[in-house]
Structure 1
Amino acid sequence: MRTKAARQVRPFTLLAVLAVVAVGCGNEKAGNHDPEVRSSGSDAGSGTRARAVADAWDGSRAAELWRTGYYPMADAVQLPEGGFHSAADKRAYETQHFVLSGALPATPHDTGQVTWPSGKSVVLPLLSAQKAYTSLGGNSGDGPHLAVTGARLGEMTLVTSRGPATVPAWLFTLVGYDTPLRRVAVSPSRLPRPPITPVGRGPSGELWQIGRLAEMSGDGRSVKVKASHGACDDGPVVDVLETDGSVVLSASIVGEKDGPCTSQAILETVTVKLARKLGNRVLLDAFTGRPVPYGPPYGKSPSWS
């Protein structure tokens, strides 16, 4: 199945692995349109690569470790109930402008437990309140800021690669808010060594790297990922290969045109519909041969990546 991107265009600074060659020429189209889903056979090269990635992961030690670890697939921070009261507070959060106006508590113990509804759990090192606060930014420069007066250890529910889990969290008290800002208090499990190597540096033929996981639907039947393309094409598409143990995503671009073009990249949201819910299958990127990392809208990813 090939899924066309929703036209949510966002330029970004390109890493070497996603460098866009000067291909094609055309005009940028911005806006928010419903994603177009169409069926097609996968490109022979990307299809072969996707099958190789699936074969390497299915039944592997890496897949076994993945299914027993803690890998968050949602933002490590949960905002106060109802969100921020003003645009200034939202801006302060996005720019990581926090001011500590009270004392933070000591860490009560060394480890914390992540628990799933099945009763399975994993014990991980517990972050101190200070480290959790520092991860929020702690930038007290000019501009609007959020004042933190204290914190206590609690918990929060977070989507993970194994479904929703109850996770230890530091609950930070903010001036002007009745409910706390929550930040996960444990670090993710170590990512298992992938059983297959990446394609290489830069785009390989029509195969491109998936930028990150943006969102997973509540029913697990679709995911939204960020995929990149050049300034002079019709955008990215994502092919899907589903097996009993994995879901492999292969990103490519369509509509390339000959001629000079600016060397830039555009990141778009692609909604990928699955034949059945993701469940405990590993969501993989055909290009890297690794699980697709989660990343939040602002700041660095809190994920295992």
Structure 2
Amino acid sequence: MRTHVTRTLRLLTVLAVGAASACAAAGCGTTGADRGVAQPRSIESTPQGTRARQVADAWDGSKAAQEWHKGFYPLGEVVQLPEGGLRGEADKRAWDIGNLDLTGKLPGAEPGSGRVTWESGGSLTAPLLQAEQAYRTLDHAEGPGPALTVTAARLGDMKVATSRGPATVPAWLFTLAGYDSPLKRAAVSPSRLPASPIEPLGQDVPTDVLAPLGGLAETAQDGRSLTVVATHGSCDDGPTVKALETSGSVVLSASTTGSDDGPCTSELRGEKVPVKLDRPLGERIVLDAFTGRPVPYGEWPVTGQSRS
């Protein structure tokens, strides 16, 4: 196994430079857990904790955070299967590979914008995806195989979990042959992310010290845990994720364990890792310590249930 001394010193050097422009420390945050196992509350005394604190200080109360709180950022599926799910292995396989067969005619151009409305109050107007655009995000198989047959589509709405709580959003409702309820696909895209108030780390930081996250896969209904996709390679024992919590954010620090110098392939793998929180997420921003940016929902790996 390789020593972590060199890479830890390298990250400390990077953080020392970044600290000069970071915000002054604002109250002490708390740490979460990785893989559902309790972790020692020592993240802030590590290089990862130093970086996480810098990211939290940069975002908490910032203009970027204010912009983020006004936007539409899904924390749940923007594609919802018919009630009861798909029936039969052929239909499930068709969905997994993204193979749809359009036999009807999709609606033409609709009005250019739709309204996202939150249960807690507030709304915003966002550009509408055309039916054809929404359909193409679902149908992308390039070879033969089982297919789901789409016979019609109409504009309706659906509920989506977001960073501001549950919201009702415009959605394309696709009629599937053999199903009584539609396949739903949100007809509005997430808001553009605000410019981050802190720069990302350089790519020369080893992944067994700190690595970028692949995406946010799930948020528990009670808000007390997250599932994120953490990336790792073929010559390690997998990823680990720790959390630093503040009043305004949850900063996640991902890294790999068990790295060695043996021959490795260049394959990048994604693994879902649950992270427990000390208190419900609420409207706090989930941030990536490596990139210094909010963790996007469903970015990696792209699956049939989370295409956007």
Q: TM-score, normalised by structure 2?
A: 0.82
The answer for unaligned runs of 5 or more in structure 2 is: 1-30
CA distance, structure 2, for counterparts of residue 259 and residue 179 of structure 1: 53
Residue 229 of structure 2 is aligned to residue 226 of structure 1: yes
| Cα offset, 1:300, TM superposition | 9.6
Q: Mapping of 1:1-305 within 5 angstroms?
A: 1=31, 3-5=33-35, 35-42=36-43, 44-137=46-139, 139=141, 141-201=143-203, 203-204=205-206, 206-256=209-259, 258-263=260-265, 264-295=267-298, 298=303, 302=307
Report deviation, 1:270.
Answer: 1.6
The alpha-carbon deviation at position 185 of structure 1 amounts to: 0.5
Contact 1:158/1:165, CA 8 A, preserved across alignment: yes
Q: Quote the offset at 1:238 in angstroms.
A: 1.6
CA spacing shift, 1:161–1:54, aligned 2, 3 Å: same
Match of 2:14 in 1: none
Q: Measure how far apart 1:284 and its partner are.
A: 0.1
Opposite residue 133 of structure 1, the aligned amino acid is Y
Task: Report the Cα offset of residue 75 of structure 1.
Answer: 2.2
Between the two proteins, the alignment pairs up a number of residues equal to 273
- Mark the runs of 5 or more structure 1 residues left unpaired by the alignment: 6-34
Query: C-alpha distance in 1, partners of 2:261/2:128?
Result: 54
**Aligned partners of 2:75, 2:184: CA distance in 1, in Å?**
16
8 A contact 2:115–2:123 mirrored in 1? yes
130 and 229 in structure 1: CA distance in 2 versus 1, 3 angstrom threshold: closer
Q: State the one-letter code of the partner of 1:54.
A: A
Q: 2:79–2:306: 8 Å Cα contact kept in structure 1?
A: no
SS of the residue 1:53 aligns to:
helix
Structure with the bigger RCO (C-alpha within 8 Å, sep 6+) is 1
8 Å CA contact 2:228, 2:274 repeated in 1: yes
Aligned residues of 1:2 and 1:238 also touching (Cα < 8 A): no
Which amino acid in the other structure matches residue 209 of structure 1? P
Q: How far did residue 41 of structure 1 move?
A: 1.2
Quick check: 217-226 or 288-297, which moved more?
A: 288-297
Q: What CA distance in whole angstroms lies between the structure 1 residues aligned with 2:269 and 2:137?
A: 28
**CA–CA separation in structure 1 for the residues paired with 2:77 and 2:163:** 13
When normalised by structure 1's length, the TM-score is 0.83
Q: SS of 1:173's equivalent? A: strand
Secondary structure, in 3 states, of the residue corresponding to 2:33?
strand
CA distance in 1 between partners of 2:97 and 2:292 (Å): 33
For residue 142 of structure 1, report the CA deviation from its aligned partner.
1.3
| Contact 1:2 1:39 (C-alpha < 8 Å) held by counterparts | no
What secondary structure, in the 3-state scheme, does the structure 2 residue paired with 1:47 have?
Answer: helix
Q: Which amino acid aligns with 1:65?
A: E
1:147 Cα deviation after fit: 1.0
The C-alpha deviation readout for 1:95-150, integer Å capped at 9, x for no partner, is 11111111112344221100101220010011111111111125474111111111
* Alpha-carbon distance change, 212 to 255 in structure 1, aligned in 2, over 3 angstroms: same
1:235 CA drift (Å): 2.9
Identity %: 55
Please give the alpha-carbon distance, in whole angstroms, between the structure 1 residues aligned to 2:40 and 2:86. Answer: 41
What is the alpha-carbon distance in structure 2 between the residues aligned to residue 126 and residue 181 of structure 1?
A: 18
Structure (1/2) with the larger helix percentage: 2
- Given that residues 197 and 288 in structure 1 are in contact (C-alpha distance below 8 angstroms), is that contact kept between their aligned partners in structure 2? yes
Change (3 A) 1:236 1:108: closer
> Given the superposition, is the C-alpha separation of residues 140 and 46 from structure 1 closer, same or farther in structure 2, using an over 3 Å criterion?
closer
Instruction: State whether residues 210 and 292 of structure 1, in contact with CA within 8 Å, keep that contact through their aligned partners in structure 2.
Output: yes
Match of 1:17 in 2: none
